[in-house]
Structures are given as structure tokens and as C-alpha cells.
């Protein structure tokens, strides 16, 4: 190891955006591997990521999709763990998760495990990365999986976006082609493909261009020792040559899928950057991006355009090193020109007046190690050398004439070209020569109010209550010192107009949310079957102003809204619907006007806002009870045609929203998932997606049993799901007491204390909302939700799980079918 640094491990963690109290260490091993350990004391899970600096741009032209196939093949068994489904079973038994991702330059595999499983988890992760087995028969089978997935992806705009993006790349560069992989690009001769995979793996999966990252509660030194010990098993090798610059001359492309969705449009503007300079000046680029996202640009555009979304990123999908802006909608050429001129002008301003102290985003503990591993795996060949480059060297790359434009345009009349492999429609989109930006608008101003003096007693207590409003005060848990103040408000709202209301509210809030973030404040707004709500957190002196402005943006009588274009596989889209479902929720009742402040210094402002909101809701008659739009019957809902595959999903709601029901459904998903996949995919051969997944909506647990097939009709898929539950559903839950205890131990990490302050506030607030919806509501503050969850898990017995399986097989639980037939 040759790790030297003058920066403390906690300072490294702060700069990397990890939660307060974290520590971070990185090292380079003698075999060339980069390892990074992050100690996050409040983390419940240990996240392990192995990444290699190889992606689909490294494939040979005669075998496109090989990197994607290799990602699949890593899970088909390794030298010490030869079973094709062994990793899935091992992770599932411990209540963990696993997945993988291949992009243009990196491939990563990630595991989420209980901390006690870290050592063995690294053994398995390193073995699959270093010594995978390429069984020809299994490889040939995976090609068929990729074939089915490719055809399903033809309904996903993300695939067509990448194809259109290729039109902006140089002739002859691999980025111009589709690399999803299918039978036509890979062939289906297992022995030949197994040999190609072995050669590709042996050439690219070398320690010099790989990284291992660990994040969790284990002591920093222990994590680093494990990474170093296991990482030495990865083969030493030289770093391959640097990839060629992919981009052609600056220009633009308009595109849309073969079957476009009415009204769907968006615009991406991006400035590609040399890897060395992007790495050397990452902090400065973050400051530039923060200035672009400080609310001023959003306010300026929204004054002239009904802007729904403005995202600024230095990690855009499919673009490599670049500064990118993504905006929607962009319905016509005039709008595109106005956006382009204004964004280019904003970037010029930001480049000379970057935000001096960019806000540190709330750490996403799932995403952070994955992103960090990809950066480390891809940076070895691009690490800056010699003297640091001056920031001025980046300015020519951020000039307006270096902008590239990607317009997801409506399917209007005009001359469109078609890409044969995917059917993507596209045409060149010339960049305007004259650019006149829109008149600049100031971002929303957050007024400062000196909070009242407060004793700051953190003990939860009722601060105010009358016939309309209930207001709580207290802070049952503090994970940071000093903690940020928080203010939460919730109120009843009609379920029938919720989708349109939340869409319009978030649109209205765009400049405010960005302006708040630039000042270190967080604003989270949402809604569910119990009503609408907001959470504001940060410095107490501006929270009242932030909440007032957010409420002023709330539309009690929303206009009809466009829907976002569908993305991902159909099965993924259906599973996402479970998180907003009303099935089984209405029984809990509607939510009264409710508030919770962490400090009673914010109490008067919160009470005033709730009283005003009560009058507003009454005026607009928004007190429709949530359960009026709910139907617990055995409905069958048909999705509008969105692709060429057949899909069936059975949604099952738990008996109630108690911790006991949540644990039982999690356990049921664990018991059924592997058997369901085996029955639907291997034995019946119905489809390439067959999973059981746990979700929650308004606290009510639910399961989704989903199968996606390119050939079997939805009615037959529905019958197969029903047969599985009737014939195998109970048998798979006949657990011994010892097996039940082992599975419960695997779920303990789900029941621990929150990992971040933001998670703690969210859990406490949603628990308070659930209690407030009861009639009559109990007065005491509810118990800490994670403690209630742990107690409920400890009391479960195998008989309880079996009874739930019997109720499901007999149709005694609330159910709903979701079906899709091709066009």
C-alpha cells in the first residue's frame, strides 16, 4: 500500500459528501487496485461495490453487447461458488440486496448486507470479479435473456436517447452504435461466446483499472484491512490505453422513439470535458454547477416557459466527463432556442462567478459507494499528472460554441431519419447563430426571522390542539451535532386529483427548491393516500419563510397535467406503481391538519400556517376523504399499450399498516421470490422477468408478483401466478423455528435506527401522520418507529407467516391485477 495524505480521514469524508461524523480512507495496493473505506457510524447496512473500468465502448465491433453479457455472466458462478444462483440465495437469506450495472466506461457490482456478513460478502464479490466461470450452456441462455430484454427496451425512451446521442459522435467510434446486445450482435453459439468472454474478462478485469469500495458502520481500519486482504486476489495487470475522444464537432440532434408519447419532450445541453481537466478541477466544476442550480436560471426560464424540470449534473448518463443540463418540457423550436440562449448565458455568468461554497447534498448512502467506485475505477488512466492545470484552461470547453444539444422532440411533421437496429427517429438540429437570452429573474428570496427564545427541550409534547389543528414539538432523536431544525406540515387533500396536484406543485416549487438548496436548506414535498405534506429542514431562521413560500405554491385546484414518458422495463414501471397505490390504505382514515416542529421557537409560525391552510382547504373544498377514491375489490387494471411484451402483476396489500404486517410481507417475499423465479422462468419458460418485490404505500405494505414475457399472453401469465400461490405459496413458508430465526436475523438491518438525519425526520413524521389518521387519535407521541419495528420482528413466529400465506392463497387479502397486452 502506498497511501499518503496530509488530509484527515474525517476531512476527506466531509469533502466527499458523507454524513457528519463519517471517516474516509483510500489506498492503492501493490497489485494496482484502488480501495476506499467509509465509516458511517449510523449506517445499518454495509455496502460493498466492485467496479472495473471497462464498459460497452471497449467492445469489438463484431460482438456488441459483450460487456453487458459479461455483467450477466458474472452471476453464473465463480471458481469457489460455482452455482448459478448461489449469490442470489446467499444474499437473500441475509435480507440483503445485490445488482450490477454496465455503462459506457465502467461495470460495477454492488451488495448491501448486514455488517456481520462483510467478510464473506467480500470473498464472494472478489471471487466473481476475479474468477468467473463461463459455462457455454448458461452463456447461451443469457443471450436469450438479453434478446428478450433488448426487444422490451425498444419501448424505453432511454435506449433511443443513447442511439440519438451516437449521432453526435465521430464516425467510426463505438459510441455511434447500440451496445445493449442481442442475438443478432452476439450470436448464440455458447462455446464461442464463452471464449470471447474469457478473453474480454482477462484483458480488462485487471486490478490496475479496478476499485473496491466499502461503506458502513464497521470501524474504518477494519474495513480497510478487509478490502486490502481480499483485494489482493484480483489479478495484477497494466492499465489499457486511453480511449479516443468520442465527440464530433458541436451540433444538435432531435429524436423521438418509434411510437412517441403525446406531449413528451425534453432538452439536454451538455459540454464534454477532457477527463484530466474534469478530475483536476472537480471542486470548481461543482461550484459552477451549483451556481446554475441556485434558482435564478429556473426562475428566468419558468417566467417564460412552463418548466417542469431543470437538473444540472457532472455525472450525466452516457456522456462521460461533461457538464450537463436537462430540462423539460421543450415542445417546439422556439422554446429550444430560448432555453439554449438563456442556459449558455447562465453558464458564462457561472464560470466567472461560481458559487463560493457549494451546498453539500444530503448523502445517499446507497448511491454514494457506487458512484465513488465508478469514479475510482475510471480515473486510474486519467489521473492528472504534473502541475495542476489552471481553471482558465477549462473555460474554452464551456464556451457557447462547444455546446451539444439533444432534443427529445414531439413527433411533428418534418423529415425524420430512422436508425435501423432500434427504429429510433432522428434528424440534425442546427444550433441557432443568434442567441438572445430571456430577461433575467431573481430567485425566490427567503426572509430571515429571528426565532423566539426557546428552552429547546427535545422531549416530544403536544404544543397546540383545537378542533382543526394539531401541532407537536420535540426532537426524539438527534444524529448530528448541532442538528438542523425541521418543520413538517400535513393536511387532507383529494385523492382523485393527487397526481395532477403533485405534478403542478413540484413544477411551481422548482426555483424555490433550488434557491433553498443553495442556502443549505432542504425542502421535500409529497403526497399519498392520507393527504399532502412538506418537510423543511436547515437553519431555523429561514425555515418559516421557506415553508410559507412552499405552501403558496400548492395548487388546491390543479390543472390537468402531462404525464412523464414511461421509462424502464414494463415490469419495473408496474412495480413503481405499488408505491403510490391506494389499495388497502383507505381503511386508516384521513389526515387532520397536522404539524411538527423540532423546536418550539418555530411553533407560532407553524400554527399560523396551519390555520391559514385550514381556511384555504375549506374554501376550495379539498377535504374529500382519502378512501373515497380507494377500492379494495379484486379489480383488474389494463395498462395502455407501451411495448411489445405481455405483463401480469398481482398486487397484494397487507392486512393493515402495522409493523407486524410489514415484516410478514417482507418475509413472504423472501420465501417466494426464488421459487417464483424458478417456476415461471425455468420450469414454465414464461418470461425473462419473474420476481416478487416488497413495497409500501402510505405505510401499508404490499407485494408485487410480476412476470414479463415476449410471447405468453397476459391471461396465461395471470393464471400461472395464481397457480403458483395455490400450489406452492404455503409450502414455501413452512419454516422451522431455527430457519425463521435465521431469516429474522437477516432482516435486523431493516429494523435499526435511521442512517441519516433526513431519514430520521421522514420516519418520525410518517409515523406521526399514521397515528393522527386514527379515530380518535391517541394523544401520546407514538413510539420511535424503528423501535416498534424491532419489537414486532422479535415477536414473529413461523406460524404467523404460514397463516398469511394461507390467507393469500385463499384470496382473503386485498388484491388487484395489473395487465398489459401489446399494441
Cell 393493515 belongs to which residue?
Answer: 656
Same domain, 602 and 744: no
Which domain range does residue 541 map to?
Answer: 461-629
Residue 660 vs residue 414, higher pLDDT: 660
Q: How far apart are the C-alpha atoms of 600 and 471, rounded to whole Å?
A: 10
Cα separation of 369 and 49, whole Å?
A: 7
Q: Is residue 595 in a domain?
A: yes
- Model confidence at 393, pLDDT cuts 50, 70, 90, reads confident
Q: Is residue 433 very low, low, confident or very high in pLDDT (cuts 50, 70, 90)?
A: confident
Q: What is the mean pLDDT of residues 545-556?
A: 94
Chain centroid to Cα 571, Å, comes to 16
In sign, the C-alpha dihedral spanning 73, 74, 75, 81 is positive
Alpha helical stretches, state H, 458-497: none
Whole-number pLDDT of residue 361: 67
Residue 390's pLDDT is what? Answer: 67
**Per-residue pLDDT for 443 more than 50?**
yes
Q: What is the pLDDT of residues 296-308, one digit of tens each?
A: 999 999 999 989 9
Residue 625: how many CB atoms within 10 A of its CB? 16
Q: Is residue 218 part of a domain?
A: no
| Backbone conformation region of residue 698, classed left if phi is above 0, alpha if psi is from -120 to 50, else beta | left
Cβ(612)–Cβ(606) below 8 Å: no
Give yes or no: residues 653 and 755 share one domain. Answer: yes
Domain membership of residue 48 (yes or no) is no
pLDDT band at 615 (very low <50, low <70, confident <90, very high): confident
Domain presence at residue 669: yes
Beta strands at 531-538 and 522-528: parallel, antiparallel or unpaired: antiparallel
pLDDT in tens, 176-210: 999 999 999 999 899 999 999 999 999 999 999 99
Confidence of residue 453 (pLDDT cuts 50, 70, 90): low
Q: What is the CATH number of the domain that holds 507?
A: 3.30.830
Helix/strand/coil for 336? helix
- The pLDDT of residue 482: 66
Do residue 507 and residue 613 come from a single domain? yes
Grid coordinates given for 225? 484491512
C-alpha cell at 576: 413503481
Domain identity same for 476 and 508: yes
Residue 497 reports pLDDT greater than 90 = no
Same domain, yes or no: 622 and 484: yes
Residue 33 included in any domain: no
Query: Quick check: 24 pLDDT over 70?
Result: yes
β-pair partners for 426: 255, 417
Helix H or strand E encompassing 323: strand 322-328
Q: Which of the residue ranges 431-440, 457-466, 546-555 has the most confident prediction, judged by mean pLDDT?
A: 546-555
The answer on 418 and 289 residing in a single domain is: yes
pLDDT digits (tens, 9 = 90+) for 124-134: 999 999 999 99
Per-residue pLDDT tens over the stretch 228-262: 999 999 999 877 777 899 999 999 999 999 987 77
| Domain-embedded: residue 262 | yes
The percent of residues in the chain predicted with pLDDT above 70, rounded, is 92
Measured CA to CA, the distance from residue 752 to residue 95 in angstroms comes to 13
CATH of residue 653's domain is: 3.30.830.10
Say yes or no: 770 and 699 in one domain.
yes
463 sits in which H/E element: strand 461-465
Strand order, beta sheet including 210-216 = 23-28, 34-39, 210-216, 46-52, 107-113, 97-102
3-state secondary structure of 50: strand
Q: For the purposes of burial, counting CB atoms within 10 Å of the CB of 58, is it exposed (0-12), middle (13-18) or buried (19 or more)? A: buried
How far is 185 from 198, CA to CA, in rounded Å?
A: 18
Dihedral sign computed on CA atoms, order 18, 20, 22, 28:
positive
At residue 781 the predicted structure's pLDDT band, cuts being 50, 70 and 90, is: confident
562 pLDDT more than 80: no
Residue 767 pLDDT greater than 80, yes or no: yes
The pLDDT score that the predictor gives to residue 752 is 85
* Better pLDDT: 169 or 743: 169
Rg (CA), the chain: 27
CA distances from 820 to 345, 567, 707 (A): 46, 15, 11
Q: Residue 162 pLDDT more than 80?
A: yes
Q: Give me the DSSP letters along 73-101.
A: HGGG-BSS---TTHHHHHHHHTT-EEEEE
Q: Is 6 inside any structural domain?
A: no
**Residues 397-404: what's their mean pLDDT?**
95
Q: Are 586 and 698 in contact (CB under 8 A)?
A: no
Total domain count, the chain = 3
Q: 331 and 265 in contact (C-beta within 8 Å)? A: yes
Q: Within this chain, do residues 267 and 298 fall inside the same structural domain, yes or no?
A: yes
How many whole angstroms separate alpha carbon 85 and alpha carbon 756? 33
Domain presence at residue 266: yes
Last residue of a domain, one of 602, 629, 656: 629
Percent of the chain with pLDDT over 90: 64
Query: Over 70: is that where the pLDDT of 621 sits?
Result: no
- Give the DSSP letter string of 707-742: EEESSS-HHHHHHHHHHHHHHTTTGGG---HHHHHH
Tell me which of 363 and 111 has the higher pLDDT.
111
d(CA 215, CA 396): 38
Examine the domain organization and report whether 617 and 750 are in the same domain.
Answer: no
Q: 540 or 382: whose pLDDT is higher?
A: 540
Which residues does residue 462 pair with via DSSP β-bridges, in sequence order? 472
pLDDT tens sequence across 808-823: 999 999 999 999 999 7
Task: Please state, rounded to an integer, the average pLDDT across all residues of the chain.
Answer: 89
pLDDT, position 625: 42
**Domain stops at, among 587, 606, 629:** 629
pLDDT at 637: 92
Residue 563 predicted with pLDDT over 70: no
Q: Are residues 707 and 601 in the same domain?
A: no
The pLDDT confidence band at residue 565, using thresholds 50, 70 and 90, is low
Decide: 406 and 165 in contact? Cβ < 8 Å: yes
* pLDDT, greater one: 350 or 89: 350
The residue-averaged pLDDT of 701-714 equals: 94
Supply the pLDDT for residue 580: 83
Q: Give the pLDDT score at 634.
A: 55
Q: Which three cell numbers stand for residue 311?
A: 437538473
Q: Are residues 617 and 717 in the same domain?
A: no
- pLDDT given at position 260: 79
Instruction: Say yes or no: 471 and 610 in one domain.
Output: yes
Q: CA-to-CA distance for 728 and 743, rounded, in angstroms?
A: 19
**585: confidence class by pLDDT, cuts 50, 70, 90:** confident
> Can you say how many angstroms the Cα of residue 277 is from the centroid of all Cα atoms in its chain?
28
Q: Is the pLDDT of residue 362 over 80?
A: no
Domain boundary, last residue among 629, 650, 674: 629
Residue 381: is its pLDDT beyond 60? no
Residue 262 CB coordination number (10 Å):
9
473 membership: H or E segment, kind and range:
strand 469-473
Kindly report the pTM of this predicted structure.
Answer: 0.92
637-675 confidence digits (pLDDT tens): 998 888 889 999 999 999 988 899 999 999 999 999 989
- The per-residue pLDDT for 355 is 73
| Whether pLDDT at 586 is above 80 | no
Amino acid at each position: 500500500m502506498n497511501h499518503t495524505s496530509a488530509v484527515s480521514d474525517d476531512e476527506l469524508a466531509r469533502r466527499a459528501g458523507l454524513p457528519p461524523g463519517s471517516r474516509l480512507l483510500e489506498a492503492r495496493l501493490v497489485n494496482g487496485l484502488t480501495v476506499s473505506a467509509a465509516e458511517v457510524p449510523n449506517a445499518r447496512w454495509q455496502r460493498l461495490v466492485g467496479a472495473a473500468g471497462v464498459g460497452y465502448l471497449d467492445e469489438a465491433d463484431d460482438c456488441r453487447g459483450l460487456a453487458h453479457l459479461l455483467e450477466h455472466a458474472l452471476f453464473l458462478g465463480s471458481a469457489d461458488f460455482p452455482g448459478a444462483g448461489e449469490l442470489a440465495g446467499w444474499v437473500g437469506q441475509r435480507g440483503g440486496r445485490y445488482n450490477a450495472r454496465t455503462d459506457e466506461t465502467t461495470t460495477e457490482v454492488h451488495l448491501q448486507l448486514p455488517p456481520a456478513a462483510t467478510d464473506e460478502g467480500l470473498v464472494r464479490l472478489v471471487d466473481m470479479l476475479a474468477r468467473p466461470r463461463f459455462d457455454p450452456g448458461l452463456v447461451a441462455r443469457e443471450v436469450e435473456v438479453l434478446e428478450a430484454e433488448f426487444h422490451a427496451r425498444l419501448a424505453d425512451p432511454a435506449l433511443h436517447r443513447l442511439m440519438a446521442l451516437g449521432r453526435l459522435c465521430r464516425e467510426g467510434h463505438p459510441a455511434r452504435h447500440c451496445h445493449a446486445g442481442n442475438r443478432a450482435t452476439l450470436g448464440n453459439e455458447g462455446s464461442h461466446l464463452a471464449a470471447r468472454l474469457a478473453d474480454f474478462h482477462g484483458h480488462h478485469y485487471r486490478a490496475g483499472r479496478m476499485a473496491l469500495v466499502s461503506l458502513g458502520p464497521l470501524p474504518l481500519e477494519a474495513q480497510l484491512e478487509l478490502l486490502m486482504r481480499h483485494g489482493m486476489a484480483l489479478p495484477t495487470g497494466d492499465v489499457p490505453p486511453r480511449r479516443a475522444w468520442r465527440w464530433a464537432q458541436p451540433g444538435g440532434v432531435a429524436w423521438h422513439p418509434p411510437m412517441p408519447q403525446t406531449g413528451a419532450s425534453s432538452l439536454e445541453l451538455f459540454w464534454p470535458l477532457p477527463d484530466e481537466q474534469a478530475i483536476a478541477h472537480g471542486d470548481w466544476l461543482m461550484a459552477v454547477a451549483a451556481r446554475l442550480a441556485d434558482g435564478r436560471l429556473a426562475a428566468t426560464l419558468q417566467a417564460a416557459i412552463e418548466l417542469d424540470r431543470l437538473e444540472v449534473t457532472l455525472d450525466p448518463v452516457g456522456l462521460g466527463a461533461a457538464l450537463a443540463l436537462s430540462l423539460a418540457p421543450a415542445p417546439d423550436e422556439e422554446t429550444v432556442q430560448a432555453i439554449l440562449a438563456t442556459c449558455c448565458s447562465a453558464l458564462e455568468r457561472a464560470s466567472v462567478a461560481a458559487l463560493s461554497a457549494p451546498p453539500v447534498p444530503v448523502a445517499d448512502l446507497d448511491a454514494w459507494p457506487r458512484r465513488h467506485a465508478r469514479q475510482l475505477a475510471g480515473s486510474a488512466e486519467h489521473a492528472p499528472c504534473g502541475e495542476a492545470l489552471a481553471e482558465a484552461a477549462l473555460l474554452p470547453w464551456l464556451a457557447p460554441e462547444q455546446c451539444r444539444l439533444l432534443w427529445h422532440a414531439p413527433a411533428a411533421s418534418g423529415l425524420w431519419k430512422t436508425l435501423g437496429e432500434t427504429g429510433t427517429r432522428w434528424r440534425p438540429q442546427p444550433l441557432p447563430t443568434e442567441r438572445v437570452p430571456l430577461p433575467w429573474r431573481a430567485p425566490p428570496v427567503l426572509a430571515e426571522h429571528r426565532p423566539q427564545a426557546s428552552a429547546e427541550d427535545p422531549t416530544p409534547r403536544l404544543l397546540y390542539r383545537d378542533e382543526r389543528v394539531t401541532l407537536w414539538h420535540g426532537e426524539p432523536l438527534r444524529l448530528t451535532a448541532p442538528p438542523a431544525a425541521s418543520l413538517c406540515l400535513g393536511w387532507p387533500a383529494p385523492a382523485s386529483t393527487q397526481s395532477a396536484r403533485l405534478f403542478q406543485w413540484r413544477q411551481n416549487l422548482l426555483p424555490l427548491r433550488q434557491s433553498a438548496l443553495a442556502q443549505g436548506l432542504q425542502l421535500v414535498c409529497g403526497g399519498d393516500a392520507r393527504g399532502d405534506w412538506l418537510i423543511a429542514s436547515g437553519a431555523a431562521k429561514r425555515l418559516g419563510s421557506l415553508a410559507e413560500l412552499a405552501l403558496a405554491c400548492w395548487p388546491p385546484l390543479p390543472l390537468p397535467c402531462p404525464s412523464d414518458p414511461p421509462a424502464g422495463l414494463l415490469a419495473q414501471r408496474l412495480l413503481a406503481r405499488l408505491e403510490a397505490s391506494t389499495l388497502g390504505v383507505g381503511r386508516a382514515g384521513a389526515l387532520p391538519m397536522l404539524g411538527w416542529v423540532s423546536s418550539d421557537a418555530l411553533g407560532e409560525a407553524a400554527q399560523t400556517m396551519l390555520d391559514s391552510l385550514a381556511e384555504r382547504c375549506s374554501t376550495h373544498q379539498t377535504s374529500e376523504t382519502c378512501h373515497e377514491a380507494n377500492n379494495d375489490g379484486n379489480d383488474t387494471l389494463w395498462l395502455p399499450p407501451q411495448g411489445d411484451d405481455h405483463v401480469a402483476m398481482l398486487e397484494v396489500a397487507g392486512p393493515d399498516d402495522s409493523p407486524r404486517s410489514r415484516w410478514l410481507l417482507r418475509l413472504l417475499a423472501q420465501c417466494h421470490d426464488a421459487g417464483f423465479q424458478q417456476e415461471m422462468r425455468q420450469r414454465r419458460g414464461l418470461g425473462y422477468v419473474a420476481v416478487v418485490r416488497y413495497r409500501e404505500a402510505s405505510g401499508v405494505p404490499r407485494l408485487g408478483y410480476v412476470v414479463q414475457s415476449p410471447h405468453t399472453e397476459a391471461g396465461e401469465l395471470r393464471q400461472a401466478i395464481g397457480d403458483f400461490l395455490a400450489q406452492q405459496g404455503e409450502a414455501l413458508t413452512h419454516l422451522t423455528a431455527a430457519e425463521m430465526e435465521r431469516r429474522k436475523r437477516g432482516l435486523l438491518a431493516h429494523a435499526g435506527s435511521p442512517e441519516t438525519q433526513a431519514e430520521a425526520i421522514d420516519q418520525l413524521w410518517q409515523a406521526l401522520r399514521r397515528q393522527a389518521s386514527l379515530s380518535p387519535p391517541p394523544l401520546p407521541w407514538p413510539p420511535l418507529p424503528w423501535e416498534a419495528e424491532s419489537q414486532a420482528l422479535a415477536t414473529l413466529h413461523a406460524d404467523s407467516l404460514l397463516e398469511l400465506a394461507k390467507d393469500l392463497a385463499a384470496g382473503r387479502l386485498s388484491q388487484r391485477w395489473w395487465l398489459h397486452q401489446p399494441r
